[in-house]
Structure formats: structure tokens, C-alpha cells
Amino acid sequence: MPDQQQHDVLIIGSGAAGLSLAIKLADHANVAVLSKEALIGGATLHAQGGFSAVLDEHDSTESHFEDTLATGVGLCDPDIVRFVVESAHKSVQWLVDQGVDFTRTDEESGSNSPFHLHKEGGHSHRRIIHAADATGKAIETTLESLVRAHPNINLYEHHIAVDLITIQKLAKPDNRCLGAYVLDVINNKVNVFSARNVILATGGAGKVYLYTSNPDSCTGDGIAMAHRAGCRIANMEFIQFHPTCLYHPMAKSFLISEALRGEGAKLILANGESFMHRYDSREELASRDVVARAIDYEMKRLGHDCVYLDISHKSKEFIKQHFPTINQRCLDLGIDMSSEPIPVVPAAHYTCGGVMVDQNGQTDIPGLYAIGEVSCSGLHGANRMASNSLLECVVFAHAAFKDIRQTLSATKMPGQLPEWDESRVTDSDEEVVVSHNWDEIRRFMWDYVGIVRTTKRLQRAQHRIKLLRSEVTEYYGNFRISKDLIELRNLLVVAELIVESALKRKESRGLHYTVDYPVADTTDKAINTVINPQLSENGHVAA
């Protein structure tokens, strides 16, 4: 039989969560890291704002805790929130120890923190540590250099996981994750990777929408694979739309950091009129769900394509120092943010729901973990507070590391696993099916399952998903797989999960706003919308 890749730990994904875990485990285990593109091609690289942590004596973890609960609108798990915010300081120190160069406080600021701290929406204090306006890049490139240098870490770039291999899928009793089928994109070959433990660190699913701040890699792969394998998925209706993405035909997916609003930038209409005071007393620093809906309403009310973000009251020197990346990108497009407002629109940004996990990042399936945006840990609830995402990545990477290290020696390495069977498929001569269906999903999700929803729109989306599912299932069964086909299949699963979750929630809460149920349900305790795996007639998870 062909050789199969065997490792102690298989990490699927190469963002902040996956690379942090790889580094922590590397002295204790043989680790494989899969990256569907180049190692630093994911969402972490594009994160601008920063990493939330209490680093100032005038702030407190209790305040961070309360702010996170308030932003999550009754759906956060208080125990998880407390665990995360109390772990934040150590997580920052770990990143500093790895060499991440966060922006320092200048001597004239009067701050008692050695680091410059931003304030962002939902936070009651300055607690966002950052590396200018390219924090994700600073973290990702630092971790990348460490991962590439470690002899116990095996990197597989341009490799995309197709599906998880579990004991249950092999029609045997009990269950455990044994590995994954993985497509080598360069050589167009599916290989078997087996491991004692498998970690999903695949990020979110922003590409299910037509307009998103996410890179092309964010196609919900881990969520879809976990669902097919038998994990519960929760809260998928809570898709966070970042209020301010750059509106320009040449500016695909470019985010305008919330930190600008933290430094006093105002949202205005084309005539210069500000409007956030009509929606929330916190104005520009209201939570993202409030700001995104306000912008969406104003654009629809006026028939405008965008609104504007104005920070021209700040000096050129201040803007260059604090927002060099954004400033240069705007200048490249002919926008001088020191003298004119920036055109912005909301765009799909963050998946608050995902694969249900415990405090160790463990899923429903033994041996399978999920960390970072792919997971539903209980931290974000109905709306993620700004800059809690990178924090979650590092905290849960450490939690998973401790759990895996304690059990690794007692866990057997899987034996030979079934090879990928493509004996009954042929090369596709209809690639247009993939590109057309990909485009259709993203368009109807934007039109029908966006910032403001109705039951009728959701039902329309659900109908289209059922038709596309039959087309994609037939196509998947007849032709050799490709990266685009894998992503299309996963996007369709994610779209279905979002719509099903949205239809189950008969209220408006956090990021889920529906015209048919415009207020929150206060008669019962807020609950998660949990989608259970689909089981076949023999009791096993349907493929």
C-alpha cells in the first residue's frame, strides 16, 4: 500500500491559533501543519486592530469580562469568558517572548503600560495592544519564522484537507478522529495523514458572502468537515459584518481598522452629516452589530453605495505613525485620509459560531480539537467584541496544548487507514459548474442572509441551497476533486448551517437581526442554536 503520512499531531490551518499550538507542542511531539495556500495566507495576516488584554492599572479583568458579556448579548459562557480574559496577560507575554514587536508607549503619553493601547468598540478602556495597524502581520510572520526553524514541525503548504477520518466513518464502534484525507494542490493527489490528535484551526467562513474582509482562503472548511464528521455546530446565524471596509473598485477585502474610530474618527454621510448619535449613545464606539446596521440602514435609506469615515482632524504625522498601512493603501488609491474622508461599507468579517468545544478546545469527537475562529467556545456569544479573536487563538492554543501533552503518550498511533478511492471518477470537463455555483452562493447569501434578514429571504436562500446541494453532490461523486470543488462543497454546507440557524432563532439578538422578530426574546433564558449532525440509517454520521 502507498506510504501514509504519520504524525503525533496534525494541525489543519496555519493562522495564529494553529502556529501557536505547533510551537508549543513541537518540543513534545512530531507535528504536521497543513496550509491550503502559502503558510501565511490566512486571515491572521490581515488583522489590523490588535489583541485585547488588560495591561493598564486603570483597567481590570473584571471590566474586560463585563464588556465581553455585554457585547455577546446574553449568549457568552461566563466561565469561558473569565478563563480567557484572565489568561490574556500571559498570552501577551508569550507573544512578546516569541519576538512579536508590539508598538511601545512614547514617554510623553503618561501611560503606565510599556505598550501603546488602542480603544475599540465595546471596550470601556484602552486595552488593545497592537503593532501599528498591522498586528496580525507582526504575529503571523513572527510565528512563521519559528515554525519554519523547528525540526519537529513538518510544513505542508498548498495542502487542503478534504475530510476527516474517524473510527465511526469506518463503520466501527466507538469513535475517534484518526486523521484526514488531504489534497496536495500542486501535484493534484489525495494523501492520507494519520495522527494521534487532529486540530482544526482553519478560520472562519467569510467567503460565503459576496463582500467580505476575509482572504479567499476563508471558506469554512473546518466547520464543514466537523459537521460531516459528527460534531455539533452552534450559533452560525451570528456572522459579524465589520462596519468599515474600504469602498473602492481596486480595494478588494481591505479593512479600515476600528482603531481609527477609537482615535476619534467619525462616520459621516456624503453631505458631511454624522449619524451614529441617532443609533447609540456610544456613537462610533458602539458594538459592531449596532454600527454595521446603522450604516446599512443609512445606505438603503439614501440609496447610497457607501458612507464615509473621517479622521482628517488628526495630523498627518499622527496618521502616519499610528496607521501606516491604511494610510499608504489609501494614498495608493488616491485618498489622502489626513485631508478627506474614507469611503467605507460593511462586509462579512467574522464567524462567531462554529464547532462546539470545551475549555480545552476538545470537540464532540475524541482526538479532534478546534481552536480559533472555526470554533464556538462560548467566548463571543451573539457578537464578538473587537480584538478578542486573536486573544482567543492564543489562549485556546495553550489550553489544547496542555490537554494534548497530558494524553499524548497514552494515545495509540492509528494504523494503516483506507486510501482515497477515486477509481470511479473522471476528470471534469465542466469546471464552469464550480465557478457558477460558487458565485451564486455568495450572491444569494449577501442578498438574503445579510445584515438585515426576513423569514421570506431566508426561505428563498434555503430553497436555493437544496437545489445546489444536489448539483454539487452529483458533481463531487463523478469527477476528481480540486481545491475549488472542495471549497465549493464546504461553502454550501456553511451556507446551509447559517440559514438553518437563522431560521431557528425567532428573535433579534446581537448579529442576527430579522424584520419579522425585531426585538430580543426576554421570556426565556437566551439559548444557543445548535445544529446536530445528520445520522444515516445505520446510526453513523452521514458522509
Active site residues: 288
Instruction: Extract the C-alpha cell encoding 81.
Output: 469568558
Going by the DSSP 8-state scheme, the letter that residue 267 receives in this structure is E
Cα–Cα dist 264/274, whole Å: 13
Cα–Cα dist 72/450, whole Å: 19
* Residue count of the chain: 543
Give the sign of the dihedral formed by CA 89, CA 91, CA 96, CA 102: negative
Helix, strand, or coil (residue 51) = strand
Question: Which helix or strand (DSSP H or E) is residue 245 part of?
Answer: strand 239-246
Q: What are phi and psi of 348, to 5 degrees?
A: -55, 135
Answer whether 359's CB lies under 8 Å from 80's CB. Answer: yes
Half-sphere exposure of 57 (CA within 13 A, CB side): 5
Cα–Cα dist 104/195, whole Å: 41
Cα–Cα dist 48/284, whole Å: 18
Going by the DSSP 8-state scheme, the letter that residue 121 receives in this structure is T
Only one residue has cell 486573536, namely 390
Only one residue has cell 459560531, namely 353
Cα–chain center distance at 450:
17
With 0-12 / 13-18 / 19 or more C-beta atoms within 10 angstroms meaning exposed / middle / buried, residue 308 is: buried
Cα–Cα dist 253/153, whole Å: 31
Give the sign of the dihedral formed by CA 400, CA 402, CA 404, CA 405: positive
Answer whether 190's CB lies under 8 Å from 124's CB. Answer: no
Going by the DSSP 8-state scheme, the letter that residue 268 receives in this structure is E
Cα–Cα dist 291/294, whole Å: 5
Distance (Å) of CA 368 to CA 1, 40, 139, 485: 26, 23, 25, 24
Cα–Cα dist 533/193, whole Å: 24
Cα–Cα dist 492/500, whole Å: 12
